């Protein structure tokens, strides 16, 4: 049985004092869950979030990293730096990074390899645009993104990769994919992994759904056969709302 993993992606939100208050509230609300809870915070909040999350079941992730360990890359943060302060997860290839910051399948692949090199667990985002979906290309796109992202990884690394299927048209729009559509897309991703890494690996990989996940739709989405939790943007900014998503099974 795969576990459910619910990760909040704060994006460019929350000052340190707000982040500390959030973790304090969330910790009380999710202390009894058996689901995995991750908060992916902006770099400037990470240290505070890590301190506040000590002794709780909240794990901490970053939202991006560079693929080099160090060097002349002004403004960048490496996997080695994240690991050094105690970060455990890192989102890689979010559609906003692909769209606004020239992230490509190639840089995504390099970053995933660098994350594993430093003992970080990647949460890798894939997903199609509305145009691609309307043209009937959605499955091709997500299969290709998955294949290129994982290219060259060992079976063990693939097993330890979390994939987030996030249809771009559903992000921040209030439009959620139907649970059936999301589940089918996630099955496509799982099939692609099976094709390249075998049945055992495909059966173990955690694949989340992301795109306007709220407490109202979490249960329906997460109770399908292949959706193993969610990557949650807007609804992760409020501890009450986010805790209801984490506790969808209570
Ligand atoms: P959303 O964002 O939940 O606000 O749609 C999801 C994401 O971008 O990860």
Question: What is the tens place of the pLDDT at every residue in 221-233?
Answer: 999 999 999 999 9
pLDDT-derived band at 55, boundaries 50, 70, 90: very high
Domains of the chain: 5-246 (3.20.20.70)
Top mutation candidate among 11, 127, 210, 236 for ligand 1, by most atoms within 8 Å of CB: 210
CA triplet 164, 169, 173: central angle to 5 degrees? 100
41 CB within 6 A, ligand 1 = no
pLDDT over 90 (residue 94): yes
| Ligand 1 atom closest to Cα of residue 212 | 5
**What pLDDT does residue 174 have?**
87
pLDDT over 90 (residue 178): yes
Q: For 49-58, 107-116, 172-181, which range has the lowest pLDDT when averaged over its residues?
A: 172-181
172 CB within 6 A, ligand 1 = yes
CB 148, CB 189: distance < 8 Å = no
Q: Alpha-carbon distance 158 to 165, whole Å?
A: 15
230 CB within 6 A, ligand 1 = no
**What pLDDT does residue 47 have?**
98
List the residue whose alpha carbon is closest to atom 1 of ligand 1: 233
Q: Alpha-carbon distance 143 to 146, whole Å?
A: 5
Q: If you ran DSSP here, which 8-state letter would residue 235 be given? A: G
**What pLDDT does residue 176 have?**
84
**What pLDDT does residue 155 have?**
98
Residue showing tokens 């060097």? 71
**What pLDDT does residue 175 have?**
86
User: Average pLDDT, whole number, for the chain?
Assistant: 97
- Residue 173 C-beta-side C-alpha neighbours within 13 Å: 13
Q: Ligand 1 centre and the CA of 71: distance in Å?
A: 32
Q: Alpha-carbon distance 240 to 26, whole Å?
A: 7
CB 85, CB 118: distance < 8 Å = no
Q: Alpha-carbon distance 225 to 246, whole Å?
A: 18
Q: Alpha-carbon distance 226 to 5, whole Å?
A: 12
List the residue whose alpha carbon is closest to atom 9 of ligand 1: 233
212 CB within 6 A, ligand 1 = yes
Active site residue 166: yes
Paired with 6 in beta bridges are: 37, 230
Q: 144-173 as b/e, with b when 16 or more CB fall inside 10 Å?
A: ebbbbbbeebeeebbbbbbbbbbbbbbbee
| Ligand 1 atom closest to Cα of residue 173 | 5
183 CB within 6 A, ligand 1 = no
Top mutation candidate among 8, 9, 126 for ligand 1, by most atoms within 8 Å of CB: 9
Q: Over range 1-24, report the average pLDDT.
A: 97
| Ligand 1 atom closest to Cα of residue 235 | 3
CA triplet 161, 162, 165: central angle to 5 degrees? 130
Q: Taking the CB of residue 1, how many other CB atoms lie within 10 A of it? A: 3
Q: Alpha-carbon distance 241 to 98, whole Å?
A: 28
93 CB within 6 A, ligand 1 = no
pLDDT over 90 (residue 25): yes
**Global pTM?**
0.97
Q: Which two tokens stand for residue 48?
A: 């505070």
From 52, 50, 116, 134, select the one nearest 80 (Cα to Cα).
116
Q: Alpha-carbon distance 179 to 163, whole Å?
A: 17
């Amino acid at each position: 049985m795969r576990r459910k993993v619910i990760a909040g992606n704060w994006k460019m939100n929350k000052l340190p004092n707000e982040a500390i208050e959030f973790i304090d509230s969330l910790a009380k609300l999710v202390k009894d869950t058996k689901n995995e809870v991750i908060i992916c915070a902006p770099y400037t909040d990470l240290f505070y979030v890590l301190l506040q999350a000590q002794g709780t079941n909240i794990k901490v992730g970053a939202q991006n990293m560079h693929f080099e360990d160090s060097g002349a890359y002004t403004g960048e943060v490496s996997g080695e730096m994240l690991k050094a302060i105690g970060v455990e997860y890192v989102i890689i290839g979010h559609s906003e990074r692909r769209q606004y910051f020239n992230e490509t399948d190639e840089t995504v692949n390099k970053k995933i390899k660098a994350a594993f090199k430093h003992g970080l667990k990647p949460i890798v985002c894939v997903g199609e645009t509305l145009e691609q979906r309307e043209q009937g290309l959605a499955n091709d796109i997500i299969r290709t993104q998955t294949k290129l992202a994982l290219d060259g990884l060992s079976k063990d690394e693939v097993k330890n990769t979390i994939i987030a299927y996030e249809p771009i048209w559903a992000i921040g729009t209030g439009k959620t994919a139907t649970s059936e559509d999301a589940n089918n897309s996630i099955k496509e991703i799982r099939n692609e992994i099976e094709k390249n890494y075998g049945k055992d690996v495909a059966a173990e990989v955690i694949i989340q759904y992301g795109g306007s996940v709220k407490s109202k739709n979490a249960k329906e989405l997460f109770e399908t056969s292949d959706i193993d939790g969610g990557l949650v943007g807007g609804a992760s900014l409020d501890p009450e709302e986010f805790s209801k998503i984490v506790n969808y099974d209570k």
